[in-house]
Amino acid sequence: MAAKIIDGKQIAETIRGELKNRISILKEKGITPGLGVILVGNNPASHSYVTAKERACDSIGIYSDDNRLPEDVTETDLLTKINEMNLDPKIHGILVQLPLPKHINESTVLSAIDPKKDVDGFHPINVGKMMIGEDTFFPCTPHGVLQMLLRSKIETSGKHVVVIGRSNIVGKPVANMLLQKRDGANATVTLCHTGTKSIKSHTLQADILIAASGFPNTVTADMVKPGAVVIDVGVNRIEDNTKKSGYRLVGDVDYEGVSAIASAITPVPGGVGPMTITMLLYNTVLSAEIELREGSEL
């Protein structure tokens, strides 16, 4: 029996509809959620991604402040721009598109963002809150994965989740979020990485398998327990001369083989990808709501 497809586009559209309603309430009270975007350099993938985020903001009524800086911008000038946004009352969320040029310290830049405006969820303070189970801005891709599981009515409590990949952007946070004692989590989590011996022995135990390795075909059918749920976070470009672009997008999972074994699976594209941008919008709206709530308590 073929796996059920977990449609990230559809789930993202549902969440964006919910956000539109929340934004309408905020605007009635004089607040328009604002996202400040900083893009350094001319990386084509980053330009495309930032443009998509700005379009998404416009589509649901979020104000977007677009800032494109040259490749050779100094770290000092970049930090100055971030501080301006920290102090700007129209900006509720700040996004610094990664990766940054090599002459700029990524950690310094992310730490300079006001934690109350850290809608990417990368500031050390917000990472720390996430680790100890406090409410905070969750990193967008991991949060998107949890929303997909929750809204697809896939039980996580007591299940064995295996995560492949230990990046600070996906692997570590999604593992931590899933082990927390809360609804949509409460799982037993195994985190595999390049130092793990016999990854297959771990993945075959997974009720839910999350692939975030960054390499195509990391997960093949012989690595998946029949009936497991498979979440493919990867996005990889593969040469394909039959396509006008010269390439096609694939995930970290052998979709054709694994979909014949899994009970549910996310496609690439159209799976986790749309959720990442949507959860950025979610965090921006949440930040505006927190500001309104805190302001009314003064």
Active site residues: 53, 97, 120
CA 119 to CA 134: how far, in whole Å? 16
Burial of 266: CB neighbours in 10 Å, binned 0-12, 13-18, 19+: buried
Q: What is the DSSP string of the chain?
A: -PPEE--HHHHHHHHHHHHHHHHHHHHHTT---EEEEEEES--HHHHHHHHHHHHHHHHHT-EEEEEEE-TT--HHHHHHHHHHHHH-TT-SEEEEPSPPPTTS-HHHHHHHS-GGG-TTS-SHHHHHHHHTT------HHHHHHHHHHHHTT---TT-EEEEE---TTTHHHHHHHHHSSSTT---EEEEE-TT-S-HHHHHTT-SEEEE-SSSTTSB-GGGS-TT-EEEE---EEEE-TTSTTSEEEE-SB-HHHHTTT-SEE--SSSSHHHHHHHHHHHHHHHHHHHHHHHHHH-
Which residues face 63 on adjacent strands? Answer: 34
